[in-house]
Every structure is written in structure tokens, then in C-alpha cells.
Amino acid sequence: MSADMKAVVATRYGSPDVLELREIGKPVPTDDEVLIRICAATVTAGDCEIRRFDIAPLFWIPARLFLGILKPRKKILGQEMAGEVVAVGKDVTRFKKGDQVFGPTAMTLGAYAEYLCVPEKYPIAKKPANMTFQKAATVPTGGLNAIHFLKKADIQPGEKILINGAAGSIGTYAIQLAKLDGAGVTAVDSTKKLDTLHSVGADHVIDYTKQDFTKDGNTYDIIFDVVGTSPFSKSINSLSADGRYLLANPSLSAMLRGAWISKLTRKKVITGLANYATEDLHYLRDLIEAGKIQAVIDRRYPLTQLPEAHRYVETGRKMGNVVITIRNGANKSGFEE
């Protein structure tokens, strides 16, 4: 460690009140690491789950062992970021000082800080030239998860896809990516979010507070449940004969039932954790630079108001992304007020 930096740390599991702004030592990159000055991060539902250790039973034990049994081992949360490379280890070849980058923090976490060291092998990439740091920080988690599951679905032009929980980070990117694949998109979320769903390309929207998509008689080639709230059996019945049911947040029961359905019928239930690949991040960057996909930002908070940002995300009202601004300033480098 060298000079100090500001970071928000959590020394115990619990409510947003456990998040504390502190001065801690700035990390120094090892031979294969890059040191990034973070300009922007985000608050995802996953960050909130880790903070309070609200982990699905299937992953509870391995997550507890990795994250810390009695208290957090990873004290600085934050799963995605955008920033500038300020130093590199002697063995690093992909990046140099001054590169503007974005990516997930993967198993390191740590984006709620002014600086972060990550291995060069991590899926980080130069950020889109036409995108601010704040918008670029929203891409990795939502974009990479959306790509992972949509690749598994193998969308064919003209197919119909329904996305449940579509107004979040994964959902807003999934709508846009599915449209680029030639799919007709129906997006499901709550009343106040429907305009946002239309704005990113949804052909049809369903307000789940007023309508149950499993009861309207429509069928879909793909159902992508981002949030894990769609009824399993009814959703299976709402699939075409060769339909695919994508579960980004499955229960153990859904995984077991899904394996049985996939074995006995032509329908497929697809679960699992997303594989964060650097080439997928490059693909997203190329789409952004071509003007084909956009970020959706709901609110922005400074690092000092991170607990308030967590509280807002936990209300379930978030549309797209909540951004944490760590370095301010508007200039040619892509900073944004």
C-alpha cells in the first residue's frame, strides 16, 4: 500500500448503514496487474445481496466461504466500473498508463473506491470512445449477463422473446441485444417503467401489476426471467414446442425441474452463472460505438451517498442503472458532471 485513498467499506453484513466512507491505503499493482483510478461505479441488486448476505440456498455455503463466514472478507463492494489506468505491472502488455477502461471487477469486487488493482487477464477493455465513464460503468454486469443468456438461447430472426423484470440493468441491455438479433420483444415490468421499456426498443410491454403474461394465451420462443419471479410451470406452458426458458436467478427447485423438462421434452431450461468474456465486452463496445445500444441511467450518487444509493436500489424502483460518481469533471476524457 502507498498513499491513502477514499473507499466505502463494510466490516459487517447488514443494512446500508454498514457502509462507511474511510481513508485506506491505495493499492499497488503486482507484476501482472493494472492500477485503475475509478471514475464511476454502479449499485446493482447483487451488490445489495452481498452486503446483507442474502444469498440463494444453493450458493449459500460456497459464497459464505468466499465472502467471509462471520464478517465480510471483501470489505469493498462494487461489481463494475469505468476509469483510467494510472500504473501497470512490468508483465502487463494489454494496457498502458492513460488508457480509459471499463469492465466487471469479477471476484475482486472493490469498485467503491478511488483506486483498484485488477489482474490484466480480467475481462476489462478500453471503454467506448463515444461514452462517458458514468455510462460505461453500467455496461459490464448487465451487458455481459444479457449476452451470456441470449447466446445460450440462440435467437433466430423472427422469434418472439419475453423478458421478465426487463427494466433493470440486464433487462434493458437484453431488450436491445434481442432486437439486434431480429427478435420480437415483449417486456414485463411495473407501471412506471413501461415508457423506459419502449424507449430501448420493446415491441410490446406488459404491466405485471395488471396482467399475468402466462394467462393471456400468448406463447413465446424464449422467456428470459431476469429476476426469478415468473411461475415455473405456467412459464413452461407459455413456451412454443422448441422454446427456451432462461433463468438468470434460479432457485434450486427450478434448476432441478428444469433439468427434467430439458431431458423429457424439446423445451430447454437454461440456468447458470454468466461467463464474463473479454471478447463479449469488446462486442458490446463495438455496438455502443456504432450507436446500436445505449445505457439507461436512473439516478447518480456521489461516493459519499452510497448508503442512500443502496437504499434506493432495494426499493425495487430502479430503472436501468444507478451510478456512483467517484471522480467528477466534464472534459474531453469522457468525464461527466
Model confidence pLDDT, tens digit, residues 263-286: 999 999 999 888 899 999 999 999
**Distance from C-alpha of 61 to C-alpha of 198, rounded to nearest angstrom:** 40
3 pLDDT higher than 80: no
What three-state secondary structure class fits 93?
coil
pLDDT at 69: 81
Q: What are phi and psi of 24, to 5 degrees?
A: -130, 170
pLDDT exceeds cutoff 80 at 16: yes
The amino acid sitting at 132 is: T
| Domain architecture of the chain: domains with CATH | 4-138+296-325 (3.90.180.10), 141-270 (3.40.50.720)
Grid cell at residue 87: 500504473
Under DSSP, the state recorded for 128 is P
Q: Are 199 and 183 in contact (CB under 8 A)?
A: no
* Segment 328-334 long-range contacts (CB within 8 Å, at least 24 positions apart): 328/302, 333/84, 333/100, 334/100, 334/127, 334/131, 334/132, 334/133, 334/136
Write out the three cell numbers for 68. Answer: 467471509
pLDDT in tens, 189-233: 999 999 999 999 999 999 999 999 999 999 999 999 999 999 999
**Mean model confidence pLDDT for the chain:** 93
pLDDT at 183: 98
41-52 residues labelled b (16+ CB within 10 A) or e (exposed): bbbbbbbbebbe
What pLDDT shows up at residue 273? 84
pLDDT band at 256 (very low <50, low <70, confident <90, very high): confident
Query: What is the pairing mode between strands 297-302 and 321-325?
Result: parallel
Reference 121, options 94, 100, 141, 143; nearest CA is 94
Compute the average pLDDT of residues 158-174: 97
d(C-alpha 298, C-alpha 296), whole Å: 7
Query: Is the model more confident about 247 or about 255?
Result: 247
Q: Is the pTM of this model over 0.85?
A: yes
Q: What is the mean pLDDT of residues 156-178?
A: 97
Each residue of 310-333: pLDDT tens digit? Answer: 999 999 999 999 999 998 643 344
Residue 106, pLDDT score: 82
pLDDT > 90: percent of the chain = 84
Residue 107: its pLDDT value, please?
A: 79
Distance CA 187, CA 207 (A): 9
Nearest to 67 by CA among 54, 85, 82: 54
pLDDT of residue 272: 85
Contact 226, 166 (CB under 8 A): yes
Instruction: Look at residue 66 in the predicted model and tell me its pLDDT.
Output: 77
